Amino acid sequence: MEIIIGTLLVFMIIGSIISLETKDLLSAIISLTAVGYFACVALLFLKAPDIALTQMVVEVLSLIILIRATIRRDLTTIEEDRDFFGLITTFALIFVFFIFGMEALRYLPPFGTPSFTLNSNSPSNRYLLNGLKETGAANIVSSVILDYRGYDTLGEATILFTSILGALAILRVYARKRSKNE
Amino acid sequence: MNEEKGMSLIVKTVTRWLKGFIFLFGAYIVVYGHLSPGGGFPGGVVFAATFILITLAFGREYALRKMGKILASELDSLGALLFLLIALLGIHYGGTFFLNFIEKNHPSGNFNLFSAGTIPLCQISIGIKVGACLFMIFIILAVVRVIFVDGKGKLITTEKKEKK
């Protein structure tokens, strides 16, 4: 299992590097989609079919939107070299994140050990044991995101609503006409 | 139907055959979200993908005539308000926000379509909302620009830009 996940992660990293470094915009989008596809397969191996399904459909939709939105844009190329100070800052930030991440990963349970087996009072334990009885939903993920954690889903819906408002407000061509009184 | 708009005849015929099945698959994912993998969000994305397929195959005028220009934003608001209404009805019936106030267990077992209280209703509202929202994002990013004429917002296609 760990070997499979590791192989998929290596493919995802390769696809990300290709999509960052390639010159062609269409190739970048396609390799980014390959990264998403490998993430979908990895989620299937991790036994999360809900998230794998969501990943797959959102990936297809974002592929269409990205191709459609970028296919007629003029390509802008930057000729000069990268900023040395920016590169140093990037590597320093990655190093700091790596240090803190190593410290945080030490407290996680080992791979393949669910956290609810370690602590019997954890909320996930209650969701798994009483979820079907308390909510009536056979899909535990659905019962968690819409019954136990309904606030999170409400926040997600609000985020989508705000994003469509922002897109409508910003992406119009012409500005609002000024009225005669001003 | 104008044959010159959109893609070739093969793509149009296949789209005409497949669009109902894709929409049905999205509805299946939404309605059975509490029993099998799926739910409101991926089902709504499949709804949006159906309309995006129609837009790409038949051209923008045909799809916008089918879906309506402002109808997508109205469906978006409708889904959000329906979800909020279900959450507020929990206060009315039991005093808690997001209370699952409908009877949860089906008499013939838990694996029935109408078995999980408010969860399927929430899935349907989120499906409507996400589908309309993502279709709106697509037509804003790729097809349609918004102009403001005399203080009223209008959605136009990019082809008619000179018309103002």
Q: Which residues of A touch B100 (CB under 8 A)?
A: 135-136, 147
For residue A143, give Cα distances in angstroms to A151, B92, B95, B110.
Answer: 13, 21, 20, 13
Complex prediction ipTM = 0.74
Residue in A142, A152, A170, A179 to test binding to B, most B beta-carbons within 10 Å: A142
Alpha-carbon span B156 to B145, nearest angstrom: 6
Interface contact B35-A69, CB threshold 8 A: no
Distance CA B52, CA B136 (A): 10
* Residue finishing a domain among A41, A58, A73: A73
Burial of B154 (0-12, 13-18, 19+ CB in 10 A): middle
3-state secondary structure of A106: coil
The shortest CB-CB distance from B104 to any of A135, A160, A163 is to A135
Cα nearest neighbour of B31 on chain A: A142
The reported pLDDT for the residue numbered B161 is 43
Q: Note the pLDDT of residue A12.
A: 92
Has residue B103 got a pLDDT over 60? yes
Beta-carbon contacts below 8 Å between A and B: 168
Closest chain A residue to B154, measured at CA: A172
- Give the residue from chain A lying closest to B50, CA to CA: A61
Q: Which residues of chain A make contact with B50, given a CB cutoff of 8 A?
A: none
What's the mean pLDDT in A58-72?
Answer: 80
> Which of B110, B39, B38 lies closest to A138, judged by CA?
B110
State mean pLDDT over A143-162: 85
Distance between CA atoms of A159 and A34, rounded to whole angstroms? 27
**What's the CA gap between B119 and A6, in Å, rounded?**
36
Same structural domain for residues A130 and A65? no
More confident residue, A121 or B30: B30
3-class state of residue B115 by DSSP? coil
Q: Which residues partner with B149 through β-bridges?
A: B152
Phi-psi group of B36: left, alpha or beta (phi > 0 → left; psi -120 to 50 → alpha; rest → beta): beta
pLDDT of A179 above 90? no
Report the 10 Å Cβ neighbour count for B3: 8
Q: Which residues of A touch B46 (CB under 8 A)?
A: 57
Q: Please state the pTM of the whole predicted model.
A: 0.77
Q: Is the dihedral of CA B151, B80, B84, A52 positive or negative?
A: negative
Question: Tens digit of pLDDT for each residue in A23-54?
Answer: 878 888 889 999 999 999 999 998 888 889 98
Mutation site for A-interface testing, chosen from B126, B130, B157 by largest number of A Cβ within 10 Å: B126
Q: Are residues A6 and A66 in the same domain?
A: yes
Residues of A in contact with B118 (CB under 8 A): 146-147
Whether residue A18 is contained in a domain is answered as yes
pLDDT band at A14, cuts 50/70/90?
very high
**Is the same domain home to A63 and A128?**
no
Determine the pLDDT at residue B33. 83
Same domain flag for A122 and A61: no
Q: Has residue B40 got a pLDDT over 50?
A: yes
Q: Coil, strand or helix: which one is A145?
A: helix
**Residue A49 falls inside a structural domain:** yes
Q: What is the reported pLDDT for B163? A: 41
The structural domain count of chain A equals 2
Query: What gap in Å lies between CA B164 and CA B147, rounded to an integer?
Result: 8
- At B55-93, the pLDDT tens digits run 888 877 777 777 766 788 788 888 889 988 888 888 888
Residues 6+ apart with CB under 8 A from B158: B143, B144, B145
Domain locations along chain B: 9-163
Which structural domain range is residue A147 located in? 115-173
Is A101 within a domain?
A: no
> Does residue A20 lie within any of the structural domains?
yes
Strand partners, B155: B146
Section A125-142 average pLDDT: 79
In this predicted structure, the answer to whether residue A97 has a pLDDT above a threshold of 90 is yes
- CB contacts of A69 in chain B (<8 Å) are 141-142
Region A77-82 average pLDDT: 63
